């Protein structure tokens, strides 16, 4: 069998480990492997290269993706998908593994519907892919954000200021919520729940009056009240801390994957090849507790991953706020 593998969408630490695991699991079965450079755009441009054993050596610890990634508006259209399928057929490719987020996995579903054997691996720091507990890259990105929050807290305490920290996540507040809990933040704003900026600032004023030396708010980039808006609101409020704004940005995507993501990438990469070997197509391999499960891509594409309201309530409780004051 000749197998192809690609990475698509935003890069995530651990993608290289998944490429390596896909290739070496396929090699163990005597299969050939082609790497698709620059995601679905590479499929449209027929940019396929043979992967040998040494080509995937020494990449496990590296961040980013050695195959590259790109967004391809053309591939989202049926004619683009048929063209990509034609290029794969001409190259003798019988199966495809796609590593990426929800949009990338939707692309895998479309190719599956056209008759190509496909398997998907969730790889995105946002952790917004349904039907899996964790995606590749989430743990490393969370620890990157946490390290920044810890460092900012030192400065906030020294200068007796409020610091508003924006983290990535688009429309998913997982990174912000978990970063706030792990970093001991006093408040968190996420897209999934209606924020109460006035309540946050009132809590800030009370803390300042009691002599609290700092105040940390973590805001997801997709929250309905932005980090910049909250920062300005705080600075306009009499009796509150002076506020500073920090946007962590793409630093959360880069860096060497931590142990969890290296192990997860190996497990999911091997599981994707095993699914294709078993004749399963149009599936995503993801985590369900301690196990790796296969889920139809039709259950993954287009569906948001909900944020657990109990975890959100926990964050409020640990911050000293009422756990019940939230609305979906």
Give 17-54 pLDDT, tens digit per residue.
999 999 999 999 999 999 999 999 999 999 999 999 88
Give the Cα separation of 28 and 248 in Å (integer): 41
Among residues 304, 305, 326, 306, which one has the least CA distance to residue 315? 326
Helices 259-277 and 15-28, packing angle to 10 deg: 40
Q: How far is CA 322 from the centre of its chain?
A: 29
Domains of the chain (ranges, CATH numbers): 2-137+257-299 (3.40.50.450), 138-253 (3.40.50.460)
Burial class of 1 by CB neighbour count within 10 A (0 to 12, 13 to 18, 19+): middle
Strand-strand pairing, 283-288 and 291-296: antiparallel
Whether 115 and 284 have beta carbons less than 8 Å apart is answered as no
Mean pLDDT over the full length of the chain: 94
Binding-site members are 10, 20-24, 71-72, 101-104, 124-126, 153, 161, 168-170, 184-186, 210, 212-214, 221, 244, 250-253
**Residue 264 to residue 260: CA distance in whole angstroms:** 6
Q: What is the pLDDT of residue 327?
A: 41
DSSP run (H or E) holding 60: none
Q: How far apart are CA 137 and CA 142, in angstroms?
A: 9
Rounded to whole angstroms, the Cα distance separating 186 from 163 reads 10
Q: How confident is the model at residue 222 (pLDDT cuts 50, 70, 90)?
A: very high
Residue numbers belonging to the annotated binding site for substrate: 124-126, 161, 168-170, 221, 244, 250-253
Collect all residues with Cβ–Cβ distance below 8 Å to 232 and sequence separation of at least 6. none
* pLDDT per residue as tens digits for the range 227-261: 999 999 999 998 888 999 999 999 999 999 999 99
Cα–Cα dist 134/126, whole Å: 10
Tokens coding 53: 């054993």
pLDDT of the residue at 18: 98
Binding-site residues for ATP, in ranges, read: 10, 71-72, 101-104
Binding positions for ADP are 20-24, 153, 184-186, 210, 212-214
pTM of the model: 0.95
Q: Nearest Cα to 195, choosing from 214, 180, 213, 184? A: 180
Alpha carbons 97 and 115: distance in angstroms, whole number: 14
Q: Which two tokens stand for residue 296?
A: 């139809």
Residue count of the chain, please give it.
328
Q: Which two tokens stand for residue 135?
A: 């995606």
Instruction: Answer yes or no: 280 catalytic.
Output: no
**How many whole angstroms separate alpha carbon 94 and alpha carbon 26?**
13
Q: How far apart are CA 307 and CA 194, in angstroms?
A: 13
pLDDT digits (tens, 9 = 90+) for 153-162: 999 999 999 9
The separation between CA 29 and the C-alpha centre of its own chain, rounded to angstroms, equals: 30
Strands 215-220, 283-288: parallel, antiparallel or unpaired by DSSP? unpaired
What's residue 321's pLDDT? Answer: 77
Which of 11, 126, 139, 261 is an active site residue? Answer: 126
Residue 328 pLDDT > 70: no
Question: Three-state DSSP class for 214?
Answer: coil
């Amino acid at each position: 069998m000749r197998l192809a593998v690609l990475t698509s969408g935003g890069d995530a630490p651990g993608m290289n480990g998944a490429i390596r695991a896909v290739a070496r699991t396929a090699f163990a079965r005597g299969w050939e492997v082609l790497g698709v450079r620059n995601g679905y755009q590479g499929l449209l441009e027929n940019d396929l290269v043979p992967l040998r054993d040494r080509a995937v050596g020494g990449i496990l610890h590296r961040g980013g993706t050695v195959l590259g990634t790109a967004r391809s508006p053309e591939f989202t259209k049926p004619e683009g998908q048929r063209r990509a399928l034609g290029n794969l057929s001409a190259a003798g490719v019988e199966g495809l593994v796609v590593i990426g987020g929800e949009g990338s996995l939707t692309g895998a579903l479309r190719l599956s519907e056209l008759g190509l054997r496909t398997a998907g691996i969730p790889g995105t720091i946002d952790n917004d892919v349904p039907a899996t507990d964790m995606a590749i890259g989430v743990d490393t990105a969370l620890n990157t954000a946490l390290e920044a929050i810890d460092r900012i807290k030192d400065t906030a305490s020294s200068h007796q200021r409020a610091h508003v920290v924006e983290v990535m996540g688009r429309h998913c507040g997982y990174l912000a919520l978990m970063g706030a809990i792990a970093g001991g933040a006093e408040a968190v704003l996420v897209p999934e729940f209606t924020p109460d900026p006035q309540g946050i600032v009132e809590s800030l004023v009370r803390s300042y009056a009691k002599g609290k030396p700092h105040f940390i708010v973590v805001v997801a980039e997709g929250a309905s009240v932005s980090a910049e808006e909250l920062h300005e609101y705080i600075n306009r409020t009499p009796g509150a801390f002076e506020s500073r704004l920090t946007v962590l940005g793409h630093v959360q995507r880069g860096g060497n994957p931590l142990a969890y993501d290296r192990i997860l990438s190996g497990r999911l990469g091997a599981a994707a090849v095993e699914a294709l070997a078993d004749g399963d197509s149009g599936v995503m391999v993801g985590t369900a507790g301690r196990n790796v499960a296969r889920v139809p891509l039709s259950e993954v594409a287009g569906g948001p991953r909900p944020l657990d309201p109990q975890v959100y309530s926990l964050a409020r409780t640990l911050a000293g706020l009422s756990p019940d004051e939230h609305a979906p």
